[in-house]
Amino acid sequence: MKPEVELYDTTLRDGSQGEGINFSVMDKLRIAEKIDAFGIHYIEGGWPGSNPKDIEFFAEAKRKKFKHARLAAFGSTRRKGVPVENDDQVRLLLDANTPVVTIYGKTWLLHVTEVLRATPDENLAMIADTIRFLKDHNKFVIYDAEHAFDGYKDDPEYGLATWQAAEKAGADFVVLCDTNGGSLSTEIGKITAVASKKLNIKVGIHTHNDTGLGVANALAAIEAGATHVQGTINGYGERTGNCNLTSVIPNIALKMKKRCLPDSSMSKLKELSQFVDEIANIRHDPRQPWVGEAAFAHKGGTHVNAVQKVVRSYEHIDPASIGNTRRVLISDLAGRSNIVMKAHELGFKISNDTPELKEILTRIKQLEHEGYEFEAAEGSLALVIRKILKHQEPPFKIEGYHVSMRRDRAISVCQASVKVQVDGITEHTIAEGDGPVNALDQALRAALVKFYPSLKKVQLTDYKVRILDSAGGTGARTRVLIESTDGKNEWGTVGVHDNIIEASLQALVDSIEYALMRK
Ligand SMILES: [Zn+2]
């Protein structure tokens, strides 16, 4: 089925220019495979003329078979005064051996005369020569018109002449780029409409997010006739980033109702977004539109009550359609409905008239008042609910512990000993670690694994500390959030105390108790 709007991913090129983003060749290959499986039509792998890592990427990528995507190498028009066949940077584009080559060239006279120091005609020749040369080598050529909007606003006649030069030389697409990211959606719409009318080839759009309009501007261009959109997963890119594909895709497919992806792909959007963040070693942004953890989270009591009755009442779309899930947040604002929904999510059978509900609610509010927060600590929350519902003894009890730290020349050593009791048997263990919490974790685990071998799989993955009352300095209360995994599921637990070690131990104990409760 032919798409109405084609998707072009530049995470590996424009996206990798973002601050804090650094992909290895292996990272790039894994991302390319994932994006291909998702169904995106073009993957821009890099700029072979700008760095050796990208040359290596294309050498490796040659061996891969992509199912949906066509690989593109990125470069620029030939240099001023150099015949195209002698331009090394253009040669490297052929060497990349990709079916698609994307080159950028100048629309804006300011850049032609002041930056390139070329004449307007020479710039037109640079565009035409390069495209013709690539077409002669059987490439599918996408022409990125750099500063297309700023250039057109400055001199419409010359701007149009550069795009027409690309068309005449045989480009398959002209992509209008808002390189500085400063245009308004109305301007983007108007200028894209002119290009769509005056050119006989397809028009694409490439936007940046400098004014927070990256996605909106791409949509404005599509409304005005563009049929190809360029962007990056999670909006990575220079400065404030590129058009975020993770937002623009569901807007095109679910709001504008234009075909752009295979039907089965849309529900994998959140997974794709998380995957790319994980490879880039960036924490997934909970407030990211569509795919963030908070995108369908309900906190206010009246919202939750309404969502329980009619899901549509406070949600713009079914979260499952893009692979996200509805979440109900627990907080001071929460009424009974929140607890009931959250308890259901955690596997408890509970309803609005369960007698223990009031006690659970009171207990949660009291703990929140003391500084606990359960939004990311569903493990601890489940234990609070269970304690009240089931009146069960915990699977183990800590009878005592000791933590010490010493410095031996340059090396600091932490040691912890823990005394735990399981079914009347007391176990005493000692362990070392790189920090007091790590040592405590090791000692506790060593003691419990004898009774509960399944704990071998449980691992601590993240540890976050927040000081609750900063005015109190070191005497303030400390909240510790611990994230754990058993290889399949992740969960969070929380501890609060004046003493950071005590707060950490609470969260550790909850993490292990929750792991035992789930199995
Ligand atoms: Zn760009």
Q: How far is the CA of 14 from the centre of ligand 1 (A)?
A: 6
Q: How far is the CA of 149 from the centre of ligand 1 (A)?
A: 13
> What was the pLDDT predicted at 410?
86
Q: Rounded CA gap, 169 and 291, in Å?
A: 41
User: Collapsing DSSP states into helix, strand and coil, what is residue 402?
Assistant: strand
Q: Angle 25-38/52-61 helices, nearest 10 degrees?
A: 50
Global pTM reads 0.73
Q: How far is the CA of 150 from the centre of ligand 1 (A)?
A: 14
The Cα-based distances of 74 to 42, 49, 165, 258, 457 in angstroms read 12, 8, 19, 27, 45
Q: Rounded CA gap, 355 and 353, in Å?
A: 6
Q: How far is the CA of 173 from the centre of ligand 1 (A)?
A: 16
Long-range contacts formed by 419-423: CB under 8 A, 24+ apart: 420/396, 420/444, 420/447, 420/448, 421/396, 421/397, 422/395, 422/396, 422/397, 422/448, 422/451, 423/451
Residue 424 makes CB contacts below 8 A (sequence gap 6+) with none
Q: Are strands 173-178 and 425-433 parallel, antiparallel or unpaired?
A: unpaired
> What was the pLDDT predicted at 461?
80
Q: Rounded CA gap, 250 and 269, in Å?
A: 9
Q: Rounded CA gap, 375 and 381, in Å?
A: 9
> What was the pLDDT predicted at 53?
92
Q: How far is the CA of 108 from the centre of ligand 1 (A)?
A: 15
Return phi, psi of residue 420, to 5°: -120, 155
Q: Rounded CA gap, 414 and 518, in Å?
A: 31
Q: Rounded CA gap, 497 and 503, in Å?
A: 5
Q: How far is the CA of 209 from the centre of ligand 1 (A)?
A: 10
> What was the pLDDT predicted at 335?
62
Assigned token pair, 224: 């005005």
Assigned token pair, 449: 């694994």
Q: How far is the CA of 70 from the centre of ligand 1 (A)?
A: 19
> What was the pLDDT predicted at 121?
97
Contact 217, 185 (CB under 8 A): yes
Contact 368, 360 (CB under 8 A): no
Instruction: Annotate 196-217 with b (16+ C-beta within 10 A) or e (fewer).
Output: beebebbbbbbbbbbbebbbbb
Please list the pLDDT of the chain residue by residue as tens digits (519 residues): 789 999 999 999 999 999 889 898 888 998 999 999 999 999 999 999 998 999 999 999 998 899 999 999 999 999 999 999 999 999 999 999 999 999 999 999 999 999 999 999 999 999 999 999 999 999 999 999 999 999 999 999 999 999 999 999 999 999 999 999 999 999 999 999 999 999 999 999 999 999 999 999 999 999 999 999 999 999 999 999 999 999 999 999 999 999 999 988 999 999 899 889 878 878 789 999 999 989 998 876 677 777 777 777 778 999 989 988 887 776 544 567 767 877 887 888 888 788 888 899 889 888 988 888 887 788 999 999 999 988 778 899 999 999 999 988 888 889 999 999 999 999 999 999 989 999 999 999 999 999 999 999 998 887 888 888 655 555 678 999 898 888 877 788 999 999 999 999 999 999 999 999 886
| Alpha helices, DSSP H, located in 409-454 | 436-448
C-alpha 499, offset from chain centre? 35
Contact 389, 348 (CB under 8 A): yes
Q: Rounded CA gap, 208 and 147, in Å?
A: 11
pLDDT tens string 455-469:
999 988 878 888 886
Contact 261, 7 (CB under 8 A): yes
Q: How far is the CA of 13 from the centre of ligand 1 (A)?
A: 9
Q: How far is the CA of 43 from the centre of ligand 1 (A)?
A: 14
The Cα-based distances of 212 to 217, 235, 289, 347, 396 in angstroms read 9, 11, 13, 40, 52
- Pick from 32, 30, 75: nearest CA to 51: 75
Q: How far is the CA of 208 from the centre of ligand 1 (A)?
A: 6
Edge-to-edge strand ranges of the sheet holding 425-433: 397-408, 411-422, 425-433
What's the helix, strand, coil split of the chain in %, to 5?
Answer: 45, 20, 35
Assigned token pair, 490: 């992740």
> What was the pLDDT predicted at 194?
98
Q: How far is the CA of 60 from the centre of ligand 1 (A)?
A: 24
Q: How far is the CA of 207 from the centre of ligand 1 (A)?
A: 7
Q: Rounded CA gap, 98 and 329, in Å?
A: 48
Q: How far is the CA of 52 from the centre of ligand 1 (A)?
A: 20
- Pick from 308, 368, 380: nearest CA to 344: 308
Q: How far is the CA of 269 from the centre of ligand 1 (A)?
A: 22
C-alpha 483, offset from chain centre? 19
Q: How far is the CA of 235 from the centre of ligand 1 (A)?
A: 11
Assigned token pair, 412: 């600091």
Q: How far is the CA of 12 from the centre of ligand 1 (A)?
A: 12
Contact 291, 270 (CB under 8 A): yes
Assigned token pair, 147: 């500063």
Look-up of token digits 């050498």: 59
Q: How far is the CA of 165 from the centre of ligand 1 (A)?
A: 21
Q: How far is the CA of 486 from the centre of ligand 1 (A)?
A: 40
Assigned token pair, 318: 């079914």
